[in-house]
Structure 1
């Protein structure tokens, strides 16, 4: 079965998506980006070109639209990391970003009904929710690969082979060994 050339990397965030996008930036067979269309609305939000790898944790909130726009014309990667490590990383962030949006918008009233709720509880709930959304969506997809940050260096060659990648594969592999966008300890 031939894998489509457009690859959408679904993830919670805080799991190596920046690293994967930078590694894929060394490919000549695909373009690659990290949250490249995240600021857009309407059809432009999901207007990724063919032969493109997009890493964007916010795609987990667009799964219905991805189904309608891309369906099985795209391949999907579920990029994961140990859920507790992801939650801790989110909880440590000085700029809570999507975690704050989840707490204040999705969990309606959490900000004022439970003002002392630890950030780590919100982070754990966010990670569980997004992971469940992605898992349910991918259960219906034809072209899916799971990658884990903990084993990404070993799994990356399999991913490159799966998508038929060409380019500076050595530089791409070396990029996987670097930490990008890491949270402060």
Structure 2
């Protein structure tokens, strides 16, 4: 079984994977195939947990390959906190790609407007993708301690839950 942590970014996906590394019956990685194209891009091993915010742009391909057989988590964070974090990263990564590629320069909008538009777009893409899927879970960063226990049980995880929960006390990939 494959598990995909779908998210907009800036919501704890790095921490999620660090926690999942304490699961012994699944491998886990963050953006492990993000530089690949074609069939290789989505060629994840069996029993793997993957968090990659770029998957929100490949949902059609993800559905074609994994469909209703995979488990999907929609990882979110307080919207305003995510937007503010993206504003700090406007000049690189996914925000630069969104501003320059999708919005064709985004010169008329403020960084706050662009980050907010990105969050709206990605959240709605993920919500629509999950509609009708049998194996979905909402996971909120602000409830990580309880939501992760639910996730652990939902996937039948084995390993060291106490160590996994301790990871949620560490801020990985935090914005400055």
* CA apart distance, 1:175: 0.6
Q: In structure 2, how many angstroms separate the alpha carbons of the residues matched to 1:164 and 1:170?
A: 15
Q: Is 1:98 matched up with 2:94?
A: yes
Count of residue pairs the alignment pairs up: 176
Q: Is the 8 A contact 1:90 1:96 kept in 2?
A: no
TM-score (norm 2): 0.96
Q: Which residue of 2 aligns with 1:126?
A: 118
Q: Which residue of 2 aligns with 1:145?
A: 137
CA RMSD in angstroms comes to: 1.1
TM-score (norm 1): 0.92
Q: Structure 1: state its 5+ residue gaps.
A: none
Q: In structure 2, how many angstroms separate the alpha carbons of the residues matched to 1:93 and 1:41?
A: 25
Q: Is 1:34 matched up with 2:30?
A: yes
Q: Is the 8 A contact 2:90 2:111 kept in 1?
A: no
SS in 2 for 1:157: helix
Q: Is 1:78 matched up with 2:70?
A: no
The C-alpha deviation readout for 1:34-73, integer Å capped at 9, x for no partner, is 0000000001100111111000000000000011100011
Q: Which residue of 2 aligns with 1:176?
A: 168
Deviation >2 Å, runs of 4+: 93-96, 108-111
Q: In structure 1, how many angstroms separate the alpha carbons of the residues matched to 2:113 and 2:90?
A: 16
Q: Structure 2: state its 5+ residue gaps.
A: none
Q: In structure 2, how many angstroms separate the alpha carbons of the residues matched to 1:155 and 1:129?
A: 24
